[in-house]
Amino acid sequence: MTTIQTQLQAVRDRIHAACLAAGRPQNSVHLLAVSKTFGPDAVQAAFAAGQTAFGENYIQEAVQKITELRHLPLQWHCIGPIQSNKTRLVAEHFDWVHTVDRLKIAQRLSEQRPSSLPPLQVCLQVNIDGGSTKSGVAPVDALALARAVAPLPGLHLRGLMCIPEPAADFVAACTVFKSARALFDALNAEGLGLDTLSMGMSADLEAAITSGSTMVRVGSAIFGGRHYPQ
Ligand SMILES: *Cc1c(COP(=O)(O)O)cnc(C)c1O
């Protein structure tokens, strides 16, 4: 087996164990493989091991990869910040977006989604721990944003996403993730019909799963350490 195959299996085992420990069905958590900074060959190696959903942060880099690999039945998720001038590329190339945090971006994505494609699947990014420099809608504003995004014709609102600051320990991580789960449940109590809570990465996927994540976004544990271009 290649390194990527071995590491992918190890991540699946971690997800399985975390589901078991939390008393959750193991198919209740989806794995998004975060392939940012890695080339098409790494994506192909993961695909050969059965992985079909991939996450990318940098739009330009992603579009190149998506185009090069269009012969494969892959699902592409945008998990990076989106500037207004990049919405068209996102609308035309991705299947999912996890990082919608304001109505203007949602409206542009909806308008620019080609009618030949299914609606773009959308999660609202929530600034769950209130980091001042971070993107994400404030938790108190999430319901209003969800109500405004849900009816947009080019989008299908699926859920919430968060990227908390690294926590001191497992219990502290769970506290933050559980507040995201509570917000997700509160929006569903208002009839939003969300089915996706995107949280948990290489370092904290167990805490996220224990707290009710339905999708973990895992990069380095599958593909190894990243080297960022200068
Ligand atoms: C890079 C990234 C990940 C993956 O992080 P790892 O620690 O490598 O698993 C997940 N989510 C987002 C938004 C990211 O930018």
Of the residues 59, 79, 101, 216, which should be mutated to test ligand 1's pocket, given the most ligand atoms within 8 Å of the CB? 79
What pLDDT does 2 receive? 79
The amino acid at residue 26 is Q
What pLDDT does 131 receive? 74
Domain ranges of the chain: 3-223
What pLDDT does 82 receive? 95
Under-70 pLDDT residues of the chain: 1, 132-133, 229-230
Bridge partners (DSSP) listed for residue 56: 78
Query: What residues contact residue 145 under an 8 Å CB cut-off, 6+ apart?
Result: 101, 102, 103, 106, 124, 137
What pLDDT does 226 receive? 87
What pLDDT does 1 receive? 66
Fold of 3-223: TIM Barrel (3.20.20)
Rg (CA), the chain: 17
What pLDDT does 230 receive? 56
The amino acid at residue 5 is Q
CA 97 / ligand 1 centre spacing (Å) = 14
